[in-house]
Structure 1
Amino acid sequence: MKNLKLIALAFSVVFATACKEIKKETEETIETEVEEVVKEDSTEKKLSITLSPKSDSNVEGTINFTEVDGMVTMEGTITGLEEGEHAIHIHEKADCSSPDGKSSGGHWNPTTQPHGAWGDATGYHKGDIGNFKTDASGKGTVTKTTDEWCIGCGDDTKDILGKAIIVHIGVDDLKSQPSGAAGARVGCAGIIE
C-alpha cells in the first residue's frame, strides 16, 4: 500500500510539473501572437512632396506627410521667403501648372465652413493650416498633426490626396473670407503619390 501511495505521489509531482511547463509555453505563445497582431493592425503611410516656386519667388521646400493609426502629421521645411510669418494652406487641386499657383483652386473646404483658425468653433476649412515663421535666412518649418486628414482613404471630407500645398507671401489673418487675405501664392506642391 505504501508503494502504491509513493507511486501515486511521484505521478502527481511529474504531472503537475509537466502541466506547469505546458502552461508557461502556452502563455509565451499567446503573448507573441498578440504583439504580432498589434503590429499588423498598425498602418503607416508616408508621402513626401516638393514645393516649386510661384509668382517669380525663390520658394522651395519639402513637405512630408505620415499617417499612423488615423493621425496625419505634416512636417515641412521651406526656404526662399522673407523673414516673418507666412500662410500655408491645402488647396482644392493638385495642379501647380500656372505661374501664379492659381491653378490649384481655392482652399480645400469639403465641409463648406467659413475660413478661420484651425479648431475655431465658428468654423474653418480643412485646408486652413495657418501661419508659420521664417528666420533671417528665409527658412521656416511647419508641423501639424490631425485626425481630420487621411492619405488615400477615399473619404471626400478627409482625403488630402489630389490636393495641393500652397505657401503665401503674406500672413493669414484667420478671418477674412474666403482665404485670410494672405497674398500671392509663392510656393506650390501637388499632394500626389
Structure 2
Amino acid sequence: MMIRSLLIAAALTTTPALAQDAGTPATPGTATTDAGVKPAPKPGEMAKAALKDSQGKDVGTVTFEQAPTGVLVKGTLMNLPAGEHAIHIHETGKCEAPDFKTAGGHFNPTKKKHGVLSPKGKHDGDLPNLHVPADGKVQFDFFAHGLKVKSMFDKDGSAVVVHATKDDYHTDPAGDAGGRIACGLAEK
C-alpha cells in the first residue's frame, strides 16, 4: 500500500517539482537567493484542520505546511470506515452536519476540471485517496503541487472533507467520490 500511495503522490505532482531547475528565470516579483533558488517559506505559513464526522465525533487532524513549490499535507485520522476514501480541500470554510454540503465544491481558484487524470485538471484541492485499514486509522503525507496555504484563506475560507468512497481522479466536478463523511475548517 505504501508503494501505491507514493506512486499516486508522484502522479499528482508535476515533473518540474522532481527535477532540478537550472537556468529558468525567476517569476517577476519573486525574490530569489544569489544561487537563483527561491527562499524557504516564512515560518507560520501553516494551517490546520480538525475533522469531525456527522455526529460530531473527532476524526483527526490535517496540517498544511507551505513549501517553495506547493504545500505538504499531513494527516492522522481515525474512526473512518475501512476502504478507499477521497479527501479534498473544499472552497468554503463551513462544515455543517450531517452532509457537510456547506463546504461547497472543491477548492479550485484556477478554474480547472477535476482530477489528475483530466487533461484540463486538476483542482488545487484535489488530493490522493486515503487507504484506510480495518482499524479505521490512517496517517498520510501528500504534496499538493502549486497550492498555497495563504490562498486557502480567502474571504470565506476553506475546509477539508473526507468522502464516503474513492476519487476516480477524472470525473468532474468531484471524482464520483460519494457523500461527505467528515469535515474540518482550515485554520491558522
TM, length-normalised to structure 1: 0.68
Count of paired positions: 148
Write the distance in 1 (CA, Å) between the matches of 2:165 and 2:58.
13
Q: Give the whole-Å Cα distance in 2 for the aligned partners of 1:51 and 1:95.
A: 12
Question: What percent identity do the matched residue pairs reach?
Answer: 33
How many angstroms does 1:175 deviate by? 2.0
CA contact (8 A) 1:166 1:185 kept: yes
Q: Highest relative contact order (Cα 8 Å, sep 6+), 1 or 2?
A: 2
The superposition leaves residues 15-40 of structure 1 with CA deviations (integer Å, 9 ceiling, x where unpaired) of xxxxxxxxxxxxxxxxxxx9xxxxx9
Q: Secondary structure at 1:85's aligned position in 2?
A: strand
Which one-letter code corresponds to 1:48 in the other structure? K
Partners of 2:178 and 2:184 in 1: CA distance: 17
Retained in 1: the 8 A contact 2:51–2:61?
Answer: yes
Q: Distance in 2 between matches of 1:47 and 1:167?
A: 17
The residue correspondences of 1:109-148 to structure 2 (distance < 5 A) are 109-117=108-116, 121-148=119-146
C-alpha distance in structure 2 between counterparts of 1:184 and 1:137, whole Å: 21
Structure 2 unmatched runs, 5+: 1-32, 34-38
Say whether the 8 Å CA contact 1:43–1:69 is kept in structure 2. no
Alpha-carbon offset, residue 69 of structure 1: 3.8
CA contact (8 A) 2:124 2:144 kept: no
- Structure 1 segments unaligned to the other structure (5+ residues): 1-33, 35-39, 153-158
> Within 1, Cα distance between the matches of 2:56 and 2:115?
26
- Is 2:72 the counterpart of 1:80? no
SS in 2 for 1:167: strand
C-alpha separation between the residues in 2 aligned to 1:70 and 1:43?
13
Partner of residue 50, structure 1: 50
- Look up the match of 2:16: none
Work out which of the two has the higher radius of gyration on C-alpha atoms and give 1 or 2.
1
Deviating runs (4+, > 3 A) in structure 1? Answer: 56-59, 68-71
State the alpha-carbon separation in 2 of the partners of residues 142 and 76 from structure 1.
5
Going from structure 1 to structure 2, the CA distance change for 1:41 and 1:104 (only over 3 Å counts) comes to closer
Task: Name the TM-score, length of structure 2 as normaliser.
Answer: 0.69
Aligned counterpart, 1:160 = 152
| Alpha-carbon distance in 2 for matches of 1:58, 1:86 | 18
Match of 1:128, SS?
Answer: coil
